[in-house]
Structure 1
Amino acid sequence: MKQRLSVEVVNRQKKRIPVVLIKKITKDILGNEERIGEIDIVFVDDCEMRELNKKFLKRDYPTDVLAFPLKGGGEVIISTDTALAQAKEYGHSFLDELIILLVHGILHILGYDHSDEMKKKEVEYAKAWCKC
């Protein structure tokens, strides 16, 4: 039986999300890392992110990205409000910040922690997809 790769993008906030591009990047990373499974990429506002961060990590503030590895895949949750603020702070586009956060979350799903190896892969994938 052939296993499959499934990427679902869910937008639970008001900013426009480039769904096709998000799916393409996710599939590219998973293919390069030779992984398959079901991955959900969820976009939320800071209000919802704060609640999720509080519920799962006991931190009462919004964060930019949460990643939840699950058997056979995982879920990446990105706050578009925080992404927009960080894009302005770092001097690049909102889209580039979404891509950076997406890459970061996917690498966590794949088991990477905050290490030099993870940073190297983040830079590699960001250079492939970002204009920053």
Structure 2
Amino acid sequence: MTYIIDLLDETESLTQEKQELVRRIVESACLQENVPAETEVSVTFVDNQAIQDINREYRGKDYATDVISFALDEGEEGPVDPSVPNLLGDIIISVPKAEEQAAAYGHSFERELGFLAVHGVLHLLGYIHETEEQEKQMISRQEEILKAYGLER
């Protein structure tokens, strides 16, 4: 099954290998979540200032965060035009936050990038973590996806 994963590294700091790792993990998460083939996901890597600006503008929270997701078809109903690609949404990851969190949690930068990418995909698919139960469910699913991919702590 193929997915269209668009990657943009605005920080110009990620190697091709790290970008390819994120691409494969996003594809794996989509496959494991039964996302239809040919679905498109965009992943942009930014610095803390850029993600803080986005967080402030769209969420009203004036601080840098690790990942933000924007689902493009949220709440849309009705027939889907087969000539239009299925656009799942955009995932924005702060590279400096990923580095900080990898060090804080004692695992690799690659593991943190994977975790944030899967977290973003699950948000695009409607997962939320507003309650403790929802958070447990989402974290559990993230860990299952990462384990199936082979990227564990």
- Residue identity opposite 2:108 in structure 1: S
Contiguous gaps of at least 5 residues in structure 1: none
Please report the TM-score for the alignment, with normalisation by the length of structure 2.
0.79
CA positional deviation for 1:19: 2.0
Greater C-alpha Rg: 2
Take 1:112 and 1:129, find their aligned partners in 2: how far apart are those partners? 22
SS at match of 1:16: coil
Please report the TM-score for the alignment, with normalisation by the length of structure 1.
0.90
Q: What pairs with 1:1-132 in structure 2 (closer than 5 Å)?
A: 5-17=3-15, 18-36=18-36, 37-71=39-73, 72-114=87-129, 115=134, 116-127=136-147, 128-132=149-153
- Residue identity opposite 2:95 in structure 1: T
Going by fraction, where is strand more abundant, 1 or 2?
1
Moved more, 14-23 or 97-106: 14-23
Q: Runs of 4 or more off by more than 3 Å in structure 1? A: none
Moved more, 47-56 or 32-41: 32-41
SS at match of 2:13: coil
- Residue identity opposite 2:71 in structure 1: P
Take 1:49 and 1:129, find their aligned partners in 2: how far apart are those partners? 28
Query: Is this contact kept in 1: 2:32–2:145, CA < 8 A?
Result: no
SS at match of 2:40: strand
Q: What is the aligned-residue identity percentage? A: 33
Q: How many residues align?
A: 129
Moved more, 85-94 or 113-122: 113-122
RMSD: 1.4
Take 2:24 and 2:12, find their aligned partners in 1: how far apart are those partners? 22
SS at match of 2:43: strand
